[in-house]
Amino acid sequence: MNFDFFTDLFFSGITKGSIYALVALGYTMVYGIIGLINFAHGEIYMIGAFIAISMCSILAPLHISVPILLLIAISISIVFTACYAFTVEKIAYEKLRNSSRLAPLISAIGMSLLLREYVLLFQTSNFINFPELLPEVSWLDFMSDYLLPSQFIIIASAFTCMVALILFLKYTRSGIAMRAIAEDQVMTRLLGININSTISLTFIIGSALAAVAAVLISSYIGQANYNMGFIIGIKAFTAAVLGGIGSVSGAMLGGIVLGLSESFATGYISSDYEDIVAFTILILILLFKPSGLLGKKEIEKV
């Protein structure tokens, strides 16, 4: 076995898996609290990339340094995607929480199509060049044969976001409120917790993670497209199901496993099988372990 080739595939898989995990967290958080699959989440991710492109175009004449420009692009993208996610939740989901499961599902799909076509009208169906925002890190040159500086930045940023989310859910009042709603929404309401604002915050946090993922991976690839949210949405959803939908740690694990699986399949079989791997994993998990790797079987109360 060629060790250099193996390590290239390994770190490429970890890089992609980190992005899948960040986006999957948005799916799993929303599902864990209100039992809804937010199929518009992939489009929120896509909008985050286009917001960053617009911001970089506006700031280009100022000749801002790359690291500062990256932080600005991510920050502005987070703000705008948070506004979109908040609006989507209020318009498409809030009034349907107590309805049958089919109604919010149709609403989610409709909102996904609406956002995708909305961006298509204002942009183009062609791929758009994304500026290089990932700075060169000179002190990482010694490991450039195995791990590119841009890959290190993506992995480190994703890991930092995941740790921050875990700490937020564990130690902050809002995080504890989210976990309480996930356990028992009725009792949580009786305890005086504002259900609506907490659910909205969940959508906002999920969109923020998706925005970070969109800016990082778009800068790494060098392009963005109005349809990019569909594929990443399917794969992130697969990662969430693989790890156990509703489990934060499961979404992280599922993203990494999916990224590695795709990378090794591409390297040792063919790049044509990259997307097939994701769908095959999704089908196998749904058939043989619907609760996912770290998920728990739901017990219906009667």
Complete DSSP assignment for 128-152: EE----S---GGGGGGTTTS-HHHH
Per-residue pLDDT at 301 = 47
Per-residue pLDDT at 111 = 92
| Model confidence pLDDT, tens digit, residues 249-288 | 999 999 999 999 999 988 888 777 777 887 888 888 888 8
C-beta of residue 49 within 8 angstroms of C-beta of residue 207: no
Q: Is 30 helix (H, G, I), strand (E, B) or coil?
A: helix
| Model confidence pLDDT, tens digit, residues 214-253 | 999 999 999 999 999 998 999 999 999 988 888 889 999 9
Query: Mean pLDDT score of the chain, rounded to an integer?
Result: 88
Q: What is the rounded CA–CA span in Å between residue 129 and residue 116?
A: 18
| Model confidence pLDDT, tens digit, residues 98-109 | 787 788 889 999
| Model confidence pLDDT, tens digit, residues 17-58 | 999 999 999 999 999 888 888 989 999 999 999 999 999 999
Element (H, E) at 79: helix 66-88
Q: Write down the number of H helices and E strands in the chain.
A: 11, 2
Query: Between these two residues, 190 and 202, which has the higher pLDDT value?
Result: 202
299 pLDDT more than 80: no
C-beta of residue 238 within 8 angstroms of C-beta of residue 27: no
State CA 268 to chain mean position distance.
27
Percent of the chain predicted with pLDDT > 90: 53
Q: What is the rounded CA–CA span in Å between residue 18 and residue 29?
A: 17
Q: What is the rounded CA–CA span in Å between residue 12 and residue 146?
A: 10
State CA 280 to chain mean position distance.
20
Per-residue pLDDT at 1 = 57
Is pTM, for the whole model, over 0.75?
Answer: yes
Per-residue pLDDT at 95 = 86
Per-residue pLDDT at 98 = 78
144 pLDDT more than 80: no
